[in-house]
Structure 1
């Protein structure tokens, strides 16, 4: 045994220790058997036996020392001890919660549960859950933060002006509907990477619930039929969407045999089957002659582990999404700038006219930075540290006053010249009993994506190409623009607002949160977190409270929602201030878990049909 091994012993399992002891006993017996017939051999073997005995003692001591030094490890099972009294999930539907519960009951961890949720939603929540889209996953595993980028990518044959006509104008709908709207999907490789690195269960096991729902079917609820009808109208018969989903009607047990076969192949052959196997061939065949995506694009796709964006706030550590998301940076900017304006906010009632006005001014500055500096970090060096720097943000809010007239002066990016997902994005949050957490947001972009279903494979492809800057100054479907750093280029990931977020304190998870909503994602998360921590609301109340949204363009516009509309005296006050009020159909579907001591408190947004569930 080397001196280095003695100085830095590695814990052995009980089985490994028994193997060492068995080997030494066998060697001792073997030496004794030869001693009488060969005295020299006896002396040599005796020295060898002593050396092995010393090694055994050292290894035994190392094992015991490691167990004593690791209070979070159960010496009897060599498994981590629970640090929470239960696990918890917050998911967009009950089927996904059931799938997660099965994984956790089988001894799986937060990642096993998350992967099972993602594949299940691809079946039971098909307007947003997907294997034909992409997304982001923020993780906190064994006390360390991680981030997985499985965002879609532009095909290699994509060009900057591919959606412009001969006059240089954007061709309406081309980036939203049909084959040319499709980017290279990332979801399957993302789930494969996460489960390989951190999962405890077998890959087949985590896909089993999704395969069962695809094979046996599930009863369609009215909300899903309504979403299907709206999507079908939008596609206008230009795709094969209705051939697969016209039977998505209330009360029907909806079965998806082709999708079941696809999921079974992925379960049997691994996640790369989607990119290299029969499924890849089916995608390439579907796209041939219509779109840009090829099998070569699929073969080249890889999810990327990145450093999450982290920042201190209010005694907590924020762990959130880095570029190509703008959402994580935007969330941190909102939280920090509001804290910098504490004197102006003191005594101001939540969601009153002066409160909304102050927040709107902060949001102007966040969206100005988003437009100028955010893009794919593989193509452009995003100044992340500068954008969340305390001194920079304090300077950004110096000219914000309660009396500022909306739109009186243009709000510009703060660092000088340059160097949205809808309801059809979805989010889920998971915490296991060991204190690990997953916050995952993924998307098809628009409702049911591009409307293109892969014949023979049974799943919808995304319309993520619309998230690029199609033409300078032209807004995407969420009303936001982005700069040259988000133009179309081969292999580039489009800018996103998704912001799966985890809050920690003293190295332990305190909050897991996220939402769909396009450019409203990080403003929705900001408002819920403010409700929780600045106004001390219980989780259910923090979710149910009114939300509003403002972004740089269109100027002086406050968006409100039907769930909690801005009306009456408040509406009149905002109009008097100079704002235009604009209704919208959706302002987030937040799924969150707050941890109080050892008890997780899951909560699902009342705006949706989600489920918050504690799992013993």
Structure 2
């Protein structure tokens, strides 16, 4: 269907979309369930929708793959997913039933979460996807970018001080979204089903609605308090209340346009016009920024560890490098860890000293590889990491000697997040982490589009030495520049052995992302825990700054004798509200074992 036809008859296109697609929206589910202005449009939309229900059902049920094409022989007993909510798992199951592979399921999940998990799932944000397809690793960078009119000091006042909240709330916090182009590129390259098919579940949930659970209402209330009425967030999400069937007709229409006209519609079509109109006079993002945006296929970072091959995120993520450094340095300290009980005081102390060194390197060397030559190979080199841990001892006093970057002080030469894991029965895998940054992003909803825009500009170094919302600084390699991608901690990771997938894992959590993944992997492989126990075990976090501070979580707090021991050592303990929502799939022989973090509401599901 052409764009003019869509403009002329939105109700018809909405019905057609529902018939043609069945996907999961990577959008940000920011449509109005309670807007008076949308109710009449939705009524017309629903009437037309009823006429096309049969066509919709037939499209979802029938594979788009040519029946004459020989299907590869399955190598696993089943497919599996680990997703943040049940709707996304349902969308994946529909894709597998239609003959789709791991990428089809992943794209359907991403779009569905944009509807049903709107505080983090999105089409107005960006992220990273690690893919293992037909025995080969791939990495897709669809991270957001700074608009062309962005400047280094754009969040400072005339005295050089940071303007509080400007990089977090409102139009000026918004970077160019990458999610839709990322899903479009992944589906074009590896998907087996039609584009409209993978979008269909998301469109259905946006159109028909889904019942809101109490946890989502609480997240909406928290975000609304942060936005303080400075954006149009409440106009779209005030009805996101427990027990309400939340419908998003504007978002449904947006997803229908994308389904009908392809992923570039978001950047060049009517949706792009709606974004540009929303930003005009308030923010920096223009239609030209959208037209110029392209997701990038990059070489994943790979490393050998413990008999496995790690496949993870390269820059502009710091998470992949940080994860490899943590795993390798802990292995180098095996004599010190031998006989040390998991999550005991000496264990936490040793891990914290490793984390100091990882975050020192992160701050100094990591940024957008299109702007700087990040010394990836040097940072994960075995000899370098062995040298980095030479001065770590069980008796080291926290903070007594400042931890510096390990490659010297010279800069490299110029040159709310959610996660899901997917494995198909043919042995292909997708690990995907994507984000709006903060809960519900900037709080700005695209009028007429029904989706939230990110606040990703806060991930840049706003001012030297001033931390972002996760308490992390990143140095001159991550300053604001036109078209630059901000540094991230996202680390969608796949572990392989002898060319076969062994583990698919990832999590949201800002700077806690790779420390959370590290702890779960350590639980699995060093302490031989089953997946559910590995996820449920206590997690802690330390990140160089603030010095001597260990963060603990409400799910499994550090208290009692352990807390006193750490304080005696010289640490300050600080509670945090969140320490990851890990979604993982371990492969045991030919059996996938999906597991969802008990800290969240996710679903691990085996799909025959």
Tell me the TM-score normalised to structure 1 length.
Answer: 0.87
Residue 71 and residue 508 in structure 1: after superposition, are their counterparts in 2 closer, same or farther (change >3 A)?
A: farther
Q: What secondary structure, in the 3-state scheme, does the structure 2 residue paired with 1:312 have?
A: strand
Q: 1:117 Cα shift?
A: 0.1
Q: What secondary structure, in the 3-state scheme, does the structure 2 residue paired with 1:126 have?
A: coil
Q: 1:419 Cα shift?
A: 2.4
Is this contact kept in 2: 1:155–1:490, CA < 8 A? yes
Residue 24 and residue 208 in structure 1: after superposition, are their counterparts in 2 closer, same or farther (change >3 A)?
A: closer
Residue 223 and residue 347 in structure 1: after superposition, are their counterparts in 2 closer, same or farther (change >3 A)?
A: same
Q: How far apart, CA to CA, are the structure 1 residues paired with 2:512 and 2:262?
A: 35
Q: What secondary structure, in the 3-state scheme, does the structure 2 residue paired with 1:30 have?
A: coil
Q: 1:439 Cα shift?
A: 0.0
Query: Which structure has the larger Rg?
Result: 1
Q: How far apart, CA to CA, are the structure 2 residues paired with 1:99 and 1:232?
A: 29
Q: How far apart, CA to CA, are the structure 1 residues paired with 2:20 and 2:518?
A: 68
Q: 1:64 Cα shift?
A: 40
Is this contact kept in 2: 1:90–1:591, CA < 8 A? yes
Q: 1:12 Cα shift?
A: 42
Residue 35 and residue 425 in structure 1: after superposition, are their counterparts in 2 closer, same or farther (change >3 A)?
A: closer
Residues 421-442 of structure 1: CA deviation (Å, up to 9, x unaligned): 9992000000000000000000
Is this contact kept in 2: 1:422–1:445, CA < 8 A? no
Residue 489 and residue 200 in structure 1: after superposition, are their counterparts in 2 closer, same or farther (change >3 A)?
A: same
Is this contact kept in 2: 1:376–1:494, CA < 8 A? yes
Residues 99-154 of structure 1: CA deviation (Å, up to 9, x unaligned): 00000111000000000000000000000000000000000000000000000000
Residue 530 and residue 11 in structure 1: after superposition, are their counterparts in 2 closer, same or farther (change >3 A)?
A: farther
Residue 58 and residue 78 in structure 1: after superposition, are their counterparts in 2 closer, same or farther (change >3 A)?
A: farther
Residue 82 and residue 60 in structure 1: after superposition, are their counterparts in 2 closer, same or farther (change >3 A)?
A: farther
Is this contact kept in 1: 2:34–2:236, CA < 8 A? no
Residue 5 and residue 176 in structure 1: after superposition, are their counterparts in 2 closer, same or farther (change >3 A)?
A: closer
In the alignment of these two chains, the number of paired residues is 608
Residue 574 and residue 9 in structure 1: after superposition, are their counterparts in 2 closer, same or farther (change >3 A)?
A: same
Q: How far apart, CA to CA, are the structure 1 residues paired with 2:559 and 2:131?
A: 40
Q: 1:28 Cα shift?
A: 46
Q: How far apart, CA to CA, are the structure 2 residues paired with 1:41 and 1:184?
A: 26
Q: What secondary structure, in the 3-state scheme, does the structure 2 residue paired with 1:89 have?
A: strand
1:392 aligns with 2:384: yes
Q: How far apart, CA to CA, are the structure 1 residues paired with 2:36 and 2:547?
A: 89
Q: How far apart, CA to CA, are the structure 1 residues paired with 2:31 and 2:121?
A: 75
Q: 1:347 Cα shift?
A: 0.3
Q: 1:33 Cα shift?
A: 61
Q: What secondary structure, in the 3-state scheme, does the structure 1 residue paired with 2:387 have?
A: helix
Q: How does 1:127-166 map to 2 (within 5 A)?
A: 127-166=119-158
Q: 1:79 Cα shift?
A: 1.5
Residues 37-96 of structure 1: CA deviation (Å, up to 9, x unaligned): 999999999999999999999999999999999999999962110000100000000000
Q: How far apart, CA to CA, are the structure 2 residues paired with 1:478 and 1:450?
A: 16
Q: How far apart, CA to CA, are the structure 2 residues paired with 1:82 and 1:489?
A: 47
Residue 575 and residue 4 in structure 1: after superposition, are their counterparts in 2 closer, same or farther (change >3 A)?
A: closer
Match of 1:362 among 348, 354, 364: 354
Is this contact kept in 2: 1:421–1:446, CA < 8 A? no
Is this contact kept in 1: 2:121–2:436, CA < 8 A? yes
Residue 165 and residue 420 in structure 1: after superposition, are their counterparts in 2 closer, same or farther (change >3 A)?
A: farther
Q: How far apart, CA to CA, are the structure 2 residues paired with 1:605 and 1:387?
A: 30
Is this contact kept in 2: 1:137–1:440, CA < 8 A? yes
Q: How far apart, CA to CA, are the structure 2 residues paired with 1:516 and 1:281?
A: 31
Residue 27 and residue 493 in structure 1: after superposition, are their counterparts in 2 closer, same or farther (change >3 A)?
A: closer
Q: What secondary structure, in the 3-state scheme, does the structure 1 residue paired with 2:538 have?
A: coil
Q: Which residue of the partner structure matches residue 400 of structure 2? A: 408
Is this contact kept in 1: 2:63–2:98, CA < 8 A? no
Q: Which residue of the partner structure matches residue 75 of structure 1? A: 67
Q: Which runs of 5+ in 2 are unaligned?
A: none
Residue 434 and residue 34 in structure 1: after superposition, are their counterparts in 2 closer, same or farther (change >3 A)?
A: closer
Q: 1:417 Cα shift?
A: 1.4
1:49 aligns with 2:53: no
Q: How far apart, CA to CA, are the structure 2 residues paired with 1:256 and 1:32?
A: 14
Is this contact kept in 2: 1:420–1:497, CA < 8 A? no
Q: What secondary structure, in the 3-state scheme, does the structure 2 residue paired with 1:232 have?
A: helix
Root-mean-square deviation (CA), in Å? 15.9
Q: 1:467 Cα shift?
A: 0.1
Q: 1:445 Cα shift?
A: 0.1
Q: How does 1:425-574 map to 2 (within 5 A)?
A: 425-574=417-566
Is this contact kept in 2: 1:420–1:467, CA < 8 A? no
Q: How far apart, CA to CA, are the structure 1 residues paired with 2:29 and 2:205?
A: 71
Is this contact kept in 2: 1:9–1:62, CA < 8 A? no
Q: How far apart, CA to CA, are the structure 2 residues paired with 1:51 and 1:184?
A: 33
Is this contact kept in 2: 1:24–1:53, CA < 8 A? no
Is this contact kept in 1: 2:22–2:199, CA < 8 A? no
Q: Which residue of the partner structure matches residue 347 of structure 1? A: 339
Q: What secondary structure, in the 3-state scheme, does the structure 2 residue paired with 1:103 have?
A: helix
1:2 aligns with 2:6: no
Q: 1:418 Cα shift?
A: 3.0
Residue 73 and residue 568 in structure 1: after superposition, are their counterparts in 2 closer, same or farther (change >3 A)?
A: same
Residue 445 and residue 58 in structure 1: after superposition, are their counterparts in 2 closer, same or farther (change >3 A)?
A: closer
Q: What secondary structure, in the 3-state scheme, does the structure 1 residue paired with 2:599 have?
A: coil
Is this contact kept in 2: 1:73–1:80, CA < 8 A? no
Residue 48 and residue 541 in structure 1: after superposition, are their counterparts in 2 closer, same or farther (change >3 A)?
A: closer
Is this contact kept in 1: 2:24–2:107, CA < 8 A? no
Q: How far apart, CA to CA, are the structure 2 residues paired with 1:319 and 1:601?
A: 19
Q: What secondary structure, in the 3-state scheme, does the structure 2 residue paired with 1:430 have?
A: strand
